[in-house]
Amino acid sequence: MTFFKDMSFKSFSIKWVISSVLLGGVLSLFYFRGFLKYYNLSSMFIDFPIEDIKLIFIYTLIAALIFIAFAVIIKLTVKYIPSVKSKKNNPIIFPLVLGLIFTSLVLLNELNINYPVRKVFGLYPVLPALLMSFLLIMMKKTLQTLPIIILAMLISITWANHIGEFNASHKENYLILKENKQVYAVLSNYNDSFIIAPVNLQTKFIEPKFQIIDSNTDKLRKDMPDMSLNYKNTGELKVRPPITVD
């Protein structure tokens, strides 16, 4: 008994691209939740910046097309190279090679290694979206496969959350606000505002004392005449745990 459907490559490719892009948008909710969690910020501050959502859709589309291109190359290799075509186990070559590529991308991301398409596969929850959409399309919907699909959904959600937290912990470029001797890092956007916190650029620590300020620079300059706002390569910043009272 097989858990997977028989489907033409063309039909699968179209469905996979569309569902991956849609799932990328859904999983972005959990990505931003993990991103804010690193700074000890509540998920109530999830904002869904238009630019980020646009990039998630674009990168997921590009990633799906890259995998489809690899799939086409593998199919042609199996079809036209006699030494490969004659092998009895050639049906497993296709999923095996794609699985190895997928696993390699996951490992490269986790090791924070730069590679040519790192932005596409590592910046947002693209890989979990590709995996989840693959299973939703290809797996037969039966009582036997239902636990697998539910488990895959939970893994994808947890994975997207982890990617957000991981990317926040390795972020090196921040918008830095300086007012007199006080330095703040802009952690995130919220509606038309910035969420900022004091930062020590020598010790690389962010203090958990958050403020919400207007993101309009003209208004900021009126309220804080001595203010300067610039992007800076700060290196990775750590967050001090919030102060608790027993």
pLDDT tens track for 187-227? 998 888 899 999 999 999 999 899 999 888 777 777 777 78
Q: How far is it, in rounded angstroms, from Cα 188 to Cα 27?
A: 18
**Structure tokens belonging to residue 5:** 């459907």
Encoded tokens for 166: 């991981």
Residue 246 confidence (pLDDT): 41
Does the pLDDT at position 1 exceed 70? no
- In DSSP notation, 206-223 reads E-S--EEEE--HHHHHHH
Phi-psi category of 191—alpha, beta or left, where left has phi over 0 and alpha has psi -120 to 50? left
Confidence of residue 5 (pLDDT cuts 50, 70, 90): low
Rounded to an integer, the average pLDDT of 6-26 is 85
Band of the pLDDT at 245, cuts 50, 70, 90?
Answer: very low
What pLDDT digit, counting tens, does each position of 100-151 carry? Answer: 889 999 999 999 998 989 999 998 999 999 999 988 888 777 777 788 888 9
Do 149 and 3 form a contact (C-beta atoms < 8 A)?
no
Distance separating alpha carbons of residues 134 and 147, to the nearest angstrom? 16
* This prediction's pTM: 0.86
User: What average pLDDT score do residues 231-243 get?
Assistant: 89
Q: Residues 21-47: pLDDT tens digits?
A: 999 989 999 999 999 999 999 889 988
The pair of three-digit structure tokens given for residue 114, joined into one six-digit string: 């730069």
Whether 138 and 9 have beta carbons less than 8 Å apart is answered as: no
Token pair for residue 204? Answer: 């690389």
